[in-house]
Structure 1
Amino acid sequence: MNWARDRRLLESLMIMGAVVEARDPFTGGHLWRTSEIAKLLAQRAGLGEETVFAATVGGWLHDLGKVGIPDAVLLKRGRLDEEEYAVARRHPEIGRAILAPHPLAGLVVDTVAHHHERWDGDGYPDRLAGEAIPLVARLVAIADAFDAMTSVRPYRQPLDVPTALGRMKAEGGRQFDPGLLDAFAEIAEAGLLDHIVGHSGFERPLVLCPHCGPVIALPRSAKAGDLHHCQSCVGEYRLEAEGLTFVATATGRPARGGATPNLAEVDEMLKALEGFLRRP
């Protein structure tokens, strides 16, 4: 494996994923959380290092196809109607098409295409069932669903971990691979997800916009006094230290820039993956 070449290729994919996340103010940190949860689940399930690597990358890239979903659907504050939901459901197929010509497609294309399949065959886009669903897609499906349940959404507050886990257990053998779900429950019940839920990176709790509510994913370099902005209302705010985290205080000024992908987070992820990329 050519490390320098493949690092650049992987970086190109991960930046596309970060662009998708930058568009949606309610999903700050979702890629990192899904990636970390999928990695922990693969490790707990006793899977090999190559699968752990694929789960880590697949968790970051699973929503790549949302780059092709219109803002009117992707950024809607309420629940989607039937027609809008049909549009949103196209993102796995869009992601598959985007990845098809990429040299690293084989690493993640199955995960991008099939993370919304269900164990009982009632998912999409191809209605695969059971072990016909690629293994890493089954891992990421659990991580993705859990993060969605425990994150702020425009139409609801996040569920706590026990409530979310209870709902997921009810879907074992229906929505989720029952064996992997058992392994996931062990992780959650042991408190091994506490540093991930409500965070956008290691030791980086999410901050809420004081005006409109979406979460704000802060960079690792964030410190008290820094000026940031909300991607939703584009209001400027100043960070104030509060214990181990920050609160956002409005400055009363509009933001000076628009939403941008978190390239520092991409770089951190690539550094964490270098051990895999350097292997012959």
Structure 2
Amino acid sequence: MSTEEEKFRLLFVDDEADILDSLRRSFRRDYEVFTANSGTQGIELLKSEQFDLIISDQRMPDVMGDAVLKFAMEHQPKAIRILLTGYSDMESLVRCVNEAGLYKYITKPWEPENLRLTVMRALESLSLERKLDTASRQLKQAYLDAVTMLSVACEGKDEDTGFHVRRVQHYTEALALELGVPAQEAEHMGVMSILHDIGKLYIPDSILKKPAKLDDEEFKIMRRHPEFGVRILGDNPFYEMAREIAACHHENVDGSGYPKGLAGEQIPLSARIAKAADVFDALTSKRPYKEPWSIEQALAMMDEQSGRQFDGVVVQGLHRLHANGTILRIMQEYHAHEVPQAGVPVFAA
């Protein structure tokens, strides 16, 4: 979308009426123009309206331009900020560059055509940035959808599987944040947790869909799905965390799990978190062989297994997510069934 196709919103702030009139006349044909005749009025407009570009004079009797643009940066950080200033304002200019994130400063008096060109180029840059942001979001969503569809295919087919892997994703991300993992890494961990059972693609349907208990030979094959998951995920560095989770999400902190019998911190944190998220969701979800457990019942069971199956620190993180409402929010957003409440009868898990 070009600047001609987009009706950008501009705010001019200056205490001189003649300058405001001149700016309005110069830009009103191509843009939606707002004006403020003082710094105070400019800040009030910034509270109630959204702008794409803000130009403010520096020297005004009430609130200086650098303060207006600093307020704009804090409340409308995506807007472009330009300062009009005289040479005598260099100290304020340096402060404004540092504190208000200026796109550019223009010294007085300015050439009208140069100002128009500056505004046009700034808005072309903003338009391109928005296109890139949109494309990035679309690619990210397409990637997430592809990962989810692949996981649904390997998990096996019941209508709640898509909800299940999304809940596991968000429980994993929320737990990681709760345990102090940086936000970007926590988000990545959540997405990678979707692939925890990718190795089931190698498991025959006769085993994966068997309604009865697996015999010893079948269980031996099923236990290989972590190994198969690592094989499927290959050696791309992007999937390193997914490989950790796929390889280790059946390990127990007391060393009794599989495939390698890892214990404690030998198990990557990502796998300890994803394991707890996966089991918690399995317990609180309706399955053909069981009704959903309540959140309290699931947490009580996981408390009993702290230090055995689960990392106690991770389980305590789940308790905090329950206390602050995060678990209920995720359930409500991604659950295909009624959210279970305390006191729901428990069937064999």
Aligned residues, how many? 203
Q: 2:336 aligns with which of 193, 206, 211?
A: 206
Report the 3-state secondary structure (helix = DSSP H, G, I; strand = E; otherwise coil) of the residue aligned with 2:181: coil
Matches of 2:245 and 2:226 in 1, distance apart? Answer: 9
The answer as to whether partners of 1:63 and 1:91 remain within 8 angstroms in 2 is yes
Report what 2:208 is aligned to: 74
Deviation at 1:191, TM superposition (A): 3.4
Root-mean-square deviation (CA, aligned residues, Å) is 2.8
Matches of 2:268 and 2:253 in 1, distance apart? Answer: 11
Task: Give the structure, 1 or 2, with the largest relative contact order (CA under 8 Å, sep 6 or more).
Answer: 1
Report what 1:138 is aligned to: 272
Report what 1:107 is aligned to: 241
Q: 1:60 to 1:37 in 2, by over 3 A?
A: same
Matches of 1:139 and 1:128 in 2, distance apart? Answer: 15
Q: Percent identity?
A: 36
CA shift digits 1:84-143 (9 cap, x unpaired): 322222111110000124452323111111111110111111111101111111110100
The answer as to whether partners of 2:248 and 2:271 remain within 8 angstroms in 1 is yes
Deviation at 1:80, TM superposition (A): 3.0
Matches of 1:77 and 1:196 in 2, distance apart? Answer: 29
The answer as to whether partners of 1:150 and 1:164 remain within 8 angstroms in 2 is yes
Report what 1:187 is aligned to: 321
Larger Rg: 2
Report what 1:33 is aligned to: 167
Report what 2:223 is aligned to: 89
Matches of 2:238 and 2:326 in 1, distance apart? Answer: 31
Report what 1:222 is aligned to: none
Q: 1:99 to 1:30 in 2, by over 3 A?
A: same
Q: 1:34 to 1:9 in 2, by over 3 A?
A: closer
Moved over 6 A (4+): 8-11
AA matched with 2:255: G
The answer as to whether partners of 2:172 and 2:193 remain within 8 angstroms in 1 is yes
Matches of 2:145 and 2:286 in 1, distance apart? Answer: 28
CA shift digits 1:58-89 (9 cap, x unpaired): 22111111111111221222333333322222
Report what 1:211 is aligned to: none
AA matched with 1:66: K
Report what 1:259 is aligned to: none
Q: 1:205 to 1:180 in 2, by over 3 A?
A: closer
Report what 1:149 is aligned to: 283
Q: TM-score normalised to the size of structure 1?
A: 0.64
AA matched with 2:217: E
Q: Which has the higher helix share?
A: 2
The answer as to whether partners of 2:193 and 2:242 remain within 8 angstroms in 1 is no
Q: 1:66 to 1:89 in 2, by over 3 A?
A: same
| Ranges in structure 1 where 5+ consecutive residues have no aligned partner | 209-280
The answer as to whether partners of 1:51 and 1:136 remain within 8 angstroms in 2 is no
Q: TM-score normalised to the size of structure 2?
A: 0.52
Structure 1 residue 178 and structure 2 residue 308: aligned? no
Report the 3-state secondary structure (helix = DSSP H, G, I; strand = E; otherwise coil) of the residue aligned with 1:104: helix
Report what 1:252 is aligned to: none
The answer as to whether partners of 2:286 and 2:337 remain within 8 angstroms in 1 is no
Matches of 1:112 and 1:58 in 2, distance apart? Answer: 9
AA matched with 1:113: A
Matches of 1:169 and 1:114 in 2, distance apart? Answer: 20
Q: 1:15 to 1:164 in 2, by over 3 A?
A: same
The answer as to whether partners of 1:120 and 1:175 remain within 8 angstroms in 2 is yes
Report what 1:44 is aligned to: 178
AA matched with 1:91: H
Report what 2:330 is aligned to: 196
The answer as to whether partners of 1:117 and 1:133 remain within 8 angstroms in 2 is yes
Report the 3-state secondary structure (helix = DSSP H, G, I; strand = E; otherwise coil) of the residue aligned with 2:210: coil
Report the 3-state secondary structure (helix = DSSP H, G, I; strand = E; otherwise coil) of the residue aligned with 2:326: coil
Alignment of 1:54-65 (within 5 A): 54-65=188-199
The answer as to whether partners of 2:226 and 2:247 remain within 8 angstroms in 1 is yes
Report the 3-state secondary structure (helix = DSSP H, G, I; strand = E; otherwise coil) of the residue aligned with 1:155: coil
Q: 1:79 to 1:189 in 2, by over 3 A?
A: farther
The answer as to whether partners of 1:79 and 1:155 remain within 8 angstroms in 2 is no
The answer as to whether partners of 2:156 and 2:208 remain within 8 angstroms in 1 is no
